[in-house]
Amino acid sequence: MEENNNQSRYVKLTKDHQTTVQEDIIPGELNQPIDVPQLAVRKCAECRQPLPESYAPPADEPWMTGIFACVEDRESCLTGLFCPCVLFGRNVESLRENTPWTTPCICHAIFVEGGISVAIATVIATSFISGIDPGTTCLICEGLFFTWWMCGIHTGQVRQSLQKKYHLKNSPCNACCVHCCLHWCALCQSTGR
């Protein structure tokens, strides 16, 4: 008896039934997403964890020192001037606990300081040796310029990670531009954050 009271909307087809049975179900209607208000919460952009409703993101704060205030901290100023790879390594180590400072230091020394050394050697070689083709010199300089900008972009990304971690403003401009144009000052500023 209960089976008759709970009639299904679906028809059990047998060989005797025709396929012309019209149903009020639209194809695909059962596969539509539904809105569950409990699941529609704001999430952290980085870790995707749900945020409380009262959460307000922290405002971007200014840097503690200006970009040209690198001379105020004598130790970081001298380290940044004579051995910026060590300063860069220390900055990366303070940002990422599982990375020893030596790895980024070595990479920085090879690409940035090594590139500067090759550029200086190229200028000296073209000044004193007359057999070097000017086109070759131009090609070497373009390659070094490209390498400098790529290193500026990489070190700028480290600066952006630092800005994101400590909620710092872009100062004085985009992090990659700062490192491409004012690399040593930016390293010192990142140390003094």
Q: What single DSSP character describes residue 112? A: I
Q: What is the mean pLDDT of residues 175-181?
A: 84
Give the tens place of pLDDT for each residue, 153-167. 888 888 888 888 888
Give yes or no for a contact between 176 and 53, defined as CB atoms under 8 angstroms apart. no
Alpha-carbon distances of 176 from 52, 72, 112, 149, 173, rounded to whole Å: 34, 23, 14, 9, 9
Is the pTM for the entire model greater than 0.85?
A: no
25 domain-assigned = no
Rounded Cα gap, residues 192 and 87, in angstroms: 11
Give the tens place of pLDDT for each residue, 28-84. 666 777 777 777 788 887 777 888 888 777 777 888 888 888 778 888 888 888 888
175 domain-assigned = yes
Note the pLDDT of residue 181: 84
Q: What is the mean pLDDT of residues 91-98?
A: 84
Domain of residue 161, residue span: 69-191
Alpha-carbon distances of 1 from 4, 5, 144, rounded to whole Å: 5, 7, 88
Note the pLDDT of residue 18: 54
pLDDT of residue 113 exceeding 50:
yes
Note the pLDDT of residue 23: 58
Give yes or no for a contact between 153 and 181, defined as CB atoms under 8 angstroms apart. no
147 domain-assigned = yes
In terms of Cα–Cα distance, which of 185, 175, 186 is closest to 153?
175
Number of domains observed in the structure of the chain: 1
160 domain-assigned = yes
Which H helix or E strand runs over 79? helix 74-82
Note the pLDDT of residue 1: 46
Give yes or no for a contact between 141 and 119, defined as CB atoms under 8 angstroms apart. yes
154 domain-assigned = yes
Rounded Cα gap, residues 36 and 56, in angstroms: 23
43 domain-assigned = no
Identify the residue with better confidence: 11 or 75. 75
Q: Provide the pLDDT confidence category of residue 26 given band limits of 50, 70 and 90.
A: low
Q: Provide the pLDDT confidence category of residue 27 given band limits of 50, 70 and 90.
A: low
Q: Provide the pLDDT confidence category of residue 5 given band limits of 50, 70 and 90.
A: low
Average pLDDT of the chain is: 78
pLDDT of residue 17 exceeding 60:
no
34 domain-assigned = no
CA 75 vs. chain centroid, Å, equals 29
Q: Tokens standing for 63?
A: 């840097």
29 domain-assigned = no
Residue carrying structure tokens 């490209």: 146
Give yes or no for a contact between 92 and 104, defined as CB atoms under 8 angstroms apart. yes
Note the pLDDT of residue 104: 86
Rounded Cα gap, residues 182 and 95, in angstroms: 20
